[in-house]
Amino acid sequence: MVLPFECCTQLEAMETTLSTSDAAFVKRSSLNSKSNNSKREGSRRAFRRLMKACWAHSHPNACTFRPIDNGLLHLLPDDVLFECLVRLPRASLQNAMLVCQKWRSIVQAPDFYEHRHRIGVLEPLLFVFGGSGSVLSSAIYCTRIGKWLCASLFSPQVVPGKEWLADHHNLDHAHSLLHTQPVVLNHRIFIVGAIPSHNSEIWGPDSTIMYDSWTKTLSRRAPMLLPRRKFACCSIGSRILVAGGSNRCGLSRDALMEAEEYITEENVWKPLPNMPHRRYGCLGVAVGGIFYVIGGLKSSSVIGLCMQPYTYINSMDSFDSKTNTWQKTKPLRTGGCVIACTVVDSCIYMLSSHAVELSFWKYDTQQDTWTRVRAPPIPSPLRLDNRLKFSCVSVDTSVYIIQVTGSIDDLLRRSGRHTRGLKEGLMLIYDTVKQEWSRAPDLPSNIKNGAACAVAYC
């Protein structure tokens, strides 16, 4: 197939030449940052010229593009078009999907994300979703520059087609994300178990919210079969698995052993076999196709009108997603209550609470070994209560521990502030290779009731 002269001229002008192997691209990417920036800008300008050569306005005042009669865009080979689009910066993907249906289908295809991951153009971003007063807000932490970027993902303004989003902005429901669990599937973040301000006959007392980091859009998905709180959740492949917690609609809040899964292609939840044990306030991670449900309580602190003591479950259950069966329960070596966990490679890192102090542990799933790691540099004795909550995520080989709710009075006094009860979004980073802790910038002030943290490569 012979390309038109206009397209050939534009392709030759592009600084990022398409190669037949990923090795050539990696070699070019090893140049210094200044040269890369200039080439990237040159490729963007050349790509815009290529788009203008293939498209034309039907009318000077028209706001949409239409293909010209000679069909130059259709003469561009699909593999060349794919290689052009896959190297676009993240900020341009939303505009690229508005060009035509073909471009949109290419960007939304699963192999598009996988190829971007292979050539190294994806960037890890830490998303934190929380509340500020009666309005839901969010913040994004860029690991490359080490700074927080505040975002308005949850706009309180009602827009056509997004009327349901206003249900999550209410003075009485500022904690609608308090017991949610975020799950990442490629560049999409699913917030499972969000509570609207009023019950809906269609969606029930909770819902699933999906955020697309490429298009920066929110959409509503089907709720869980059993509305629950303080449950374990993870993603394996294109599935979202949920287990444990307590019934959100019940009065007793007894621990559950029911499990279910979400099929993203069908937008439906399906039941799974029950866990061997009832777990409330448990945590979930996935390693090698195995869903680990860690720790939790046998029952909540309140059953009916009677106060009950906390009873920690010093074990974890594992679910094989290939055979859909629960495996033998394994004991925990951490002691106390596991309050946060994340995965780096094949190892699970757990943050455990011991009433007035914290401990940090590493569990190697392949070797089945436990190692106590240096605890995070938080002053002790640490006043731990229901108002203090930590979240744990991982970026490459680093573990991020984020204080999303509560106050650390001892830390405030050490920094010279004597006012008690202040909320401070402390964030610490543990380098698993160097085995060192460092402190990162605190959470922005607009995240006062942060609850959901997730890392997406987008």
Cα 121 from Cα 119, distance rounded (Å) = 6
Cα 15-20-23 angle, rounded to 5 deg: 85
Domains of the chain listed by start with CATH number: 5-115 (no CATH), 124-457 (2.120.10.80)
Cα 202 from Cα 129, distance rounded (Å) = 25
Q: Is 281 helix (H, G, I), strand (E, B) or coil?
A: coil
Cα Rg of the chain (Å, integer): 24
Distance, C-alpha 403 to centroid of its chain: 17
Closest CA to 244 of 264, 272, 221: 272
Specify whether the CB–CB gap between 340 and 392 falls below 8 A. yes
Q: The tokens of 73 are what?
A: 């865009």
Q: Could you say which residues of the chain have pLDDT below 50?
A: 1-34, 53-70, 156, 158, 171-174, 198-203, 307
Specify whether the CB–CB gap between 338 and 294 falls below 8 A. yes
118 exposure class (CB count in 10 Å sphere: 0-12, 13-18, 19+) = middle
Q: What is the pLDDT of residue 96?
A: 87
The dihedral through the CA atoms of 441, 186, 32, 12 has a sign that is negative
Residue 381, preceding bond cis, omega within 30 degrees?
yes
Q: pLDDT per residue over 374-395, tens digit each?
A: 999 876 655 555 567 888 999 9
Cα 375 from Cα 389, distance rounded (Å) = 16
Closest CA to 292 of 253, 334, 235: 235
Spatial strand order of the sheet with 124-132 comes to 147-151, 135-142, 124-132, 452-457
Q: What pTM did the predictor assign?
A: 0.77
Cα 3 from Cα 14, distance rounded (Å) = 16
Specify whether the CB–CB gap between 181 and 195 falls below 8 A. no
Cα 279 from Cα 298, distance rounded (Å) = 6
Cβ neighbour number for residue 283 with a 10 Å cutoff: 27
Specify whether the CB–CB gap between 294 and 285 falls below 8 A. yes
Give DSSP secondary structure letters for 314-351: -EEEEEETTTTEE---EE-SS-SEEEEEEEETTEEEEE
Cα 293 from Cα 254, distance rounded (Å) = 17
Q: What is the pLDDT of residue 95?
A: 86
Q: What is the pLDDT of residue 384?
A: 54
